[in-house]
Structure 1
């Protein structure tokens, strides 16, 4: 019947069907139903949000994050959506972004215990343990599930080495949860660390009573018996564990056992006449931010007479990302290395095709008659060590040693050449690490800015050309004459006068230069930035809002500000004369800068003022920002006359506002004088002083309310 079909296709009915599927645990069908709806209505925010939640239930976190991002683009004012996205980000390990989103959601839903739990977990991963515990307290006051709270609180206590408190939390989890055996094992391990061996034995005994076939629990109990000097009991437990292992292997583990033996046998077969135990292992460690360059180095190395025999992933049952070649080669009976298909992650380097890197890769190579293997592993998810480790194992021969040295030199050369990032516009990213170190590089794709789009007074343009463009062009000759190849320039002026716009132009037009953009909140990473600047030179280092870190010492409010200032000065002074680095610092308040930065040659060599545009500049700005509008000279003259003393950003908003007035008036594309007048009156309205000041267009008014020509400078 047509009516029935129409009823089924109604969005309300589709949501009901999806919810019914989800309640029955059939999340995949719920996703399919909502996908059909989104095919006809791609901006249905409710459908995107629901599908994102069902995708989370299926473990498809990246797809869920995409749905939540799209939903927020449609409903940017719905703060509760940040909770869904924050949970997705946290589950993907993007803890900094997750914490920010969850905080926004909690601001609107302060009584949501689940949000407090997730933010607590996220802050724990960031090493902010006190804040994490505070969130757990709030979640508990909101009657959130005791088992989950206790488990998360225990993990924080373990990070703080508070084993007694962690043991108490695992006991609470075991008392209130369904999976008692797992929490009892956690309790036993934690009591063991705390030296509470009798309690550990009791806990593991209860776990074995619930699950007698748990071999790992039985081996833990044997270890505890040994520590208590109950050697006979320990021997008996190990014998039981061995018997259970053989029983399980013979009944249903034959296929798994064959697979677990595969890695060691694979290596034996690959090295043929060379004994695996005699291999020589060379190791190197690199910052994660050069992972893409490392991969390119490996790919370039595997050319010519070097044959890639096989690439696979490898891990042991109880080690995660910290596996080494020693683990791979070991014939551990109970924790053997196992091979899996390699899983890849794409690293964006600002090009059409990202660099595809195996998250963890075991490479089997052969060069002529010489076999060798390479293992690359990511940093561990927890702890303070943040390094990508590369190991190569070669036969104990001269040819093997030459192969290892050649490979390590290829990696070193690839990292220093940095073809992935050289000549691009980059900044560092901070991810989930307890140290706060930068672990990734973000490539910025700025909109191309041409020379004619840089609208500044002639004097300012001449200073830019002489101190940056011509300096870069003359740098080689200057160095041959014995002068330094580094330079420091300060951009200063009111907000909205074109400082950032000019930097975009320089970043895209200085030949061969790599641009590093340091925002105010990233100054703690200054040493990392300078290491990259030296490695990727010639480079342009941009420090935005320099007054936030280079403020006069007498005006500094905190000791850490002076520490950051000293770090900046030391980095600028520490560059050799051969360094090909241009510093550009921007500020709206040059008067508050530290004298040691402004007055000493070699730090700031030239200050360039970005004033508010004069009449000629305003005329060119009006033409630039009028877009595809049909605008006459009379209208331009009106706009120039009415905008004396404003900033470039004010003119940009003025032209957009005038276009809005024109659209409301008629469909004709011609902009009229009355459109500009109406937009000016609105922007310079005395009733909207904050917006006026933010745009750089404060105006004084007479008693009659009519506009005068004097326009004050905008606020910072």
Structure 2
């Protein structure tokens, strides 16, 4: 390049500066237009609207906030709708301002709206949540309710309630924020909403599971489960065992009034323990199905960490059952080397219930030997511990009959197979029948399943090569001879450290 043709020093910098100033001027124009639109009314300002409703400057009022359980956000929506309708109806408006709304409390929103027009009136935000196994509800996720509320002392007076859903990715919990121009009025509104939440809860009488959020454990969702339909005849247990458990779980609920009148407590804990596959979960399914008027909360796996929230919900919606499956995952015996924080939550939940709370904690475990003794023995925590043992020959015969249904197996082969399958579990028997049917299906003759299919299937599953299969299905690994003494010889109680038979 010829030196004489090069741009003068600083020319490139001048171009950059010019570009920046042009962009800055454009930004200033947009800001000016925004303020003009706001003042001209094309974006309705929030503060004047609230001031007209409340009769005072809303920025001068204190805000009373109620943090809600993330599992009861739908209850809050239902309750607030009911309270507003009861007091004559109201107006629901939205608030604009983008995601910044989720990071700001109502007081901050009002201050910013009053000084800068940052949060104008906008559309109401909704989100859909389940309220039953086959039902959903569009709930307000961000909206401001303006209505008149009569607390019974001074007649109807204006209030405003900001309703917001959980935003776990923003660190937010569902909440209600109330402002009112009179002392005590906001508290009265929230008290009536809480009462309506319990009376009209979408969870009441339902079977639900709680799920933890990936962002924060306590901000997950609710899944509704169809109530199981399991009859007593479908539960094969030692004689009298199901009745004993049922009397403690369901009988106390049936006679709650008489028991309370006699000064007896209603809260109770029941522990079902025994080898895998013996029918603990199946027994729980029967009890849940039979407790038609109870609210049931099922916790297992990662959701066990939500036991405190489950206990609070059960207390509010009693009669209730809280099921903790495989509770040994959180309630292992403490030592100087190990300690489970979740165990403390379980103990606190059990201890925190009032004596007259009709709430059952129903726990299952495959490892009763490692359970914390304080959880297993102390009355008022778990007051009934019941072993669900390996089935004996009579029980295995009953299980074969149950799972075979109308399949054409002879009585003789059912007796033979029940003896051969010593030391196995209900899960093993159920799989055994399926294997027999599969053999017939592979021949192209599903209706021709017969005794030989059942004999061959049990021989394969009991063979030494199938030891792992037996273990996976809850059976003993040693084989038929050794297994005959592993628990299939009777219904006696197995001695477990820290547990006394019921």
> Which TM-score band (shorter chain)?
0.7 to 0.9
User: Which one of 446, 460, 467 corresponds to residue 689 of structure 1?
Assistant: 467
Which ranges in structure 1 are unaligned for 5 or more consecutive residues?
1-204, 216-240, 702-706
Alignment check: 8 A CA contact 2:375 2:382 kept: yes
Alpha-carbon spacing, 1:266–1:572, altered in 2? closer, same or farther (3 Å): same
Q: Where does residue 359 of structure 2 map in the other structure?
A: 581
User: Which one of 543, 546, 556 corresponds to residue 327 of structure 2?
Assistant: 546
Alignment check: 8 A CA contact 1:546 1:585 kept: yes
Deviation of the 1:695 alpha carbon: 1.2
Alignment check: 8 A CA contact 2:437 2:446 kept: no
Provide the alpha-carbon RMSD of the alignment: 3.6
CA deviation string 1:102-144 (max 9, x = no partner): xxxxxxxxxxxxxxxxxxxxxxxxxxxxxxxxxxxxxxxxxxx
The 2-side partners of 1:674 and 1:268 are apart by 81
Instruction: For CA contacts below 8 A with separation 6 or more, give which structure has more relative contact order.
Output: 2
Alignment check: 8 A CA contact 1:349 1:420 kept: yes
Superposed, 1:213-612 pairs within 5 Å as 245-246=28-29, 249=32, 261-264=43-46, 267=49, 271=53, 281-304=63-86, 306-309=88-91, 311-316=92-97, 319-326=100-107, 327-328=109-110, 331-332=113-114, 334-365=116-147, 372-379=159-166, 381=168, 386-394=172-180, 396=181, 404=186, 407-417=189-199, 419-433=201-215, 436-554=217-335, 557-558=337-338, 560-561=339-340, 563-612=341-390
The secondary structure found in structure 1 opposite 2:85 is: coil
TM (norm. structure 2) is 0.80
The 2-side partners of 1:711 and 1:535 are apart by 48
The 1-side partners of 2:421 and 2:434 are apart by 14
Q: Where does residue 672 of structure 1 map in the other structure?
A: 450
The secondary structure found in structure 2 opposite 1:484 is: coil
Superposed, 1:82-101 pairs within 5 Å as none
Alignment check: 8 A CA contact 1:650 1:695 kept: yes
Of 291-300 and 415-424, more deviation after overlay is shown by: 415-424
Deviation of the 1:654 alpha carbon: 0.6
Alpha-carbon spacing, 1:284–1:662, altered in 2? closer, same or farther (3 Å): same
The 2-side partners of 1:206 and 1:691 are apart by 77
The 2-side partners of 1:541 and 1:476 are apart by 21
CA deviation string 1:53-107 (max 9, x = no partner): xxxxxxxxxxxxxxxxxxxxxxxxxxxxxxxxxxxxxxxxxxxxxxxxxxxxxxx
Q: Where does residue 8 of structure 2 map in the other structure?
A: none
Alignment check: 8 A CA contact 1:489 1:606 kept: yes
TM (norm. structure 1) is 0.58
* Alignment size in residue pairs: 468
Which ranges in structure 2 are unaligned for 5 or more consecutive residues?
1-13, 150-154, 488-502
Deviation of the 1:334 alpha carbon: 4.4
The 2-side partners of 1:303 and 1:207 are apart by 61
CA deviation string 1:221-264 (max 9, x = no partner): xxxxxxxxxxxxxxxxxxxx7x96357645x9966875663133
Alpha-carbon spacing, 1:663–1:304, altered in 2? closer, same or farther (3 Å): same
Alignment check: 8 A CA contact 1:345 1:358 kept: yes
Alignment check: 8 A CA contact 2:133 2:224 kept: no
Q: Where does residue 173 of structure 1 map in the other structure?
A: none
The 1-side partners of 2:373 and 2:61 are apart by 60
